[in-house]
Amino acid sequence: MNTVASPHFAYRQDTLYAENVPLAQIAARFGTPLYVYSRAALTAQWQAFQQTLAQHPASADALICYAVKANSSLAILNLFARLGAGFDIVSGGELQRVLAASAGIAGVAGRVVFSGVGKTEAEMELALNAGILCFNVESAAELDRLNAVAGRLGKTAPVSLRVNPDVDPQTHPYISTGLKTAKFGIPIAEAPRLYERAAALPHLAVEGIDCHIGSQILSVAPFAEALERLLALLDLLEKRNIPIRHLDLGGGLGIPYQGTDAPPEIDAYLTPLLDQLTGRKKLKIMVEPGRRLVGNAGVLLTKVEYLKPGEEKNFAIIDAAMNDLMRPALYQAWHDILPVQRSQRQSDAPAPIFDVVGPVCESGDFLGLSRPLALAAGDLLAVMSAGAYGMSMSSNYNSRPRAAEILVDGDKTHLIRRRENIAELYALESLPPAPETA
């Protein structure tokens, strides 16, 4: 399997670095399992989106709304907020994180869009009071609820409808959202009727059209097809006197997890889409990238606890597990696994094949299967491309404290989340009174 080169996580001689810091040094100081992010990698991805949008006439007015769910670390939200990001949120909790991370940075609430099929009244209230940019509404019932909540607060809620264009993004079924069979969005055929209803409701203001067709998409074609359908809808709405001010293209652009993945560059993804808008009324253009901004900017550092050779299989038992990084167990996702120190062992004749597994009591607890690795107990490994949907999907299963997180910036390392301790895992629990004895 080809490994993915990254300028921010690269070998110098045989030692793997995060920017200018050897990963082994970070592990020695902060322990494992440990998420390590590169500030330069995060910033570079951001700038690639920003520059492409800034250069195209169709996106003179553009907003990048980082999809918070990909990695909701306050430090990462803060970094993007400073760069001028908007945010795509899917819960009141994510909104509160964004606000906490951006205290002192002007105008952030006004750059938030709220997606998701199940917004509660309390979440709507929170978002209306914060003054968010737009609600991406996913059903008729949600329109009515939002109208009622806004009315009660004496406010007008800005809305887009999240339209489901029925396009196949050709990705894993669990992360494909734009097909007719998905719970997401409003079928495009029903959209005109619902836009008319939204326009007639007194406490809603129709602002835009939104769509998100899936995640880890590796070609431009599905995005282009979705946009074409959105533009047909937009024309129809304008004819019916429902003006549209913004177009939200969602997220979904994939990253390379292995050398054979070839997702489009950011400009090669955006430019053809923006070209489709040439000659039309100027719209505010929004995108909601998550994975592409953070995925390759993070690794999960872990230590080999034991080697367990077997008749059929060899296992490398590591101190990270499915609770730290669920993607392999949940989506059969492939993450590259690299030795932090390449040694003589690594360059000797064919490396033995290992299943790299965690200590959790499930057969699905693996981070990589059938990997050629020359290992010894105590070695450090880096699970690559773990910046997106790693920490944010982690859990305490098997009463495992969640990993700490580090942000590397040049030759500096910042602890951005300390490791949990066991007492914190049950701090919210209490014992019922002892049963009365008969």
Distance CA 338, CA 367 (A): 12
Q: Are 410 and 19 in contact (CB under 8 A)?
A: yes
Q: 111 vs 212, which CB is nearer to ligand LLP?
A: 212
Among 389, 394, 403, 404, binds ligand LLP (CB under 6 A): 389
Sole window of 9-17, 97-105, 126-134, 211-219 interacting with ligand LLP (rule: CB under 6 A): 211-219
Among 251, 298, 328, 368, binds ligand LLP (CB under 6 A): 251
Q: Are 49 and 289 in contact (CB under 8 A)?
A: yes
Among 16, 63, 70, 337, binds ligand LLP (CB under 6 A): 70
Contact string 159-178 vs ligand LLP (x = CB under 6 A): ----------------x---
Residue 413 interacts with ligand LLP (CB under 6 A): yes or no: no
Q: Please give the residues from 311 up to 330 whose contact with ligand LLP meets the rule CB under 6 A.
A: 327
Question: How many CB atoms are closer than 10 A to CB 422?
Answer: 11
Q: 165 vs 339, which CB is nearer to ligand LLP?
A: 165
- Find the angle CA(194)-CA(158)-CA(115) to the nearest 5 degrees: 75
Phi, psi of 191 (to 5 degrees): -60, -45
Q: Are 118 and 138 in contact (CB under 8 A)?
A: no
Q: Are 369 and 363 in contact (CB under 8 A)?
A: no
Among 46, 73, 88, 304, binds ligand LLP (CB under 6 A): 88
Residue 405 interacts with ligand LLP (CB under 6 A): yes or no: no
Q: 288 vs 319, which CB is nearer to ligand LLP?
A: 288
Contact string 2-41 vs ligand LLP (x = CB under 6 A): ----------------------------------------
Q: How far is the CB of 357 from ligand LLP (least distance, A)?
A: 19
Distance CA 380, CA 77 (A): 29
Q: How far is the CB of 230 from ligand LLP (least distance, A)?
A: 14
Sole window of 15-23, 123-131, 245-253, 337-345 interacting with ligand LLP (rule: CB under 6 A): 245-253
CB burial class (10 A; 0-12, 13-18, 19+) of residue 68? buried
CB burial class (10 A; 0-12, 13-18, 19+) of residue 352? middle
Contact string 98-137 vs ligand LLP (x = CB under 6 A): -----------------x----------------------
Q: How far is the CB of 171 from ligand LLP (least distance, A)?
A: 9
Residues in contact with ligand LLP, total (CB under 6 A)?
20
| Structure tokens belonging to residue 52 | 């492409």
Among 45, 102, 176, 216, binds ligand LLP (CB under 6 A): 216
Q: 300 vs 340, which CB is nearer to ligand LLP?
A: 300
C-alpha count within 13 angstroms, C-beta hemisphere, residue 405: 22
Sole window of 287-295, 312-320, 395-403, 412-420 interacting with ligand LLP (rule: CB under 6 A): 287-295
Sole window of 29-37, 94-102, 125-133, 244-252 interacting with ligand LLP (rule: CB under 6 A): 244-252
Q: 330 vs 425, which CB is nearer to ligand LLP?
A: 330
Among 26, 41, 64, 67, binds ligand LLP (CB under 6 A): 67
Q: 227 vs 380, which CB is nearer to ligand LLP?
A: 227
- Find the angle CA(235)-CA(241)-CA(245) to the nearest 5 degrees: 65
Residue 44 interacts with ligand LLP (CB under 6 A): yes or no: no
Q: Does the annotation count 361 as an active-site position?
A: yes
Active site residues: 361
Residues that bind ligand LLP (CB under 6 A): 67, 70, 88, 115, 175, 212, 215-216, 250-253, 288-292, 327, 331, 389
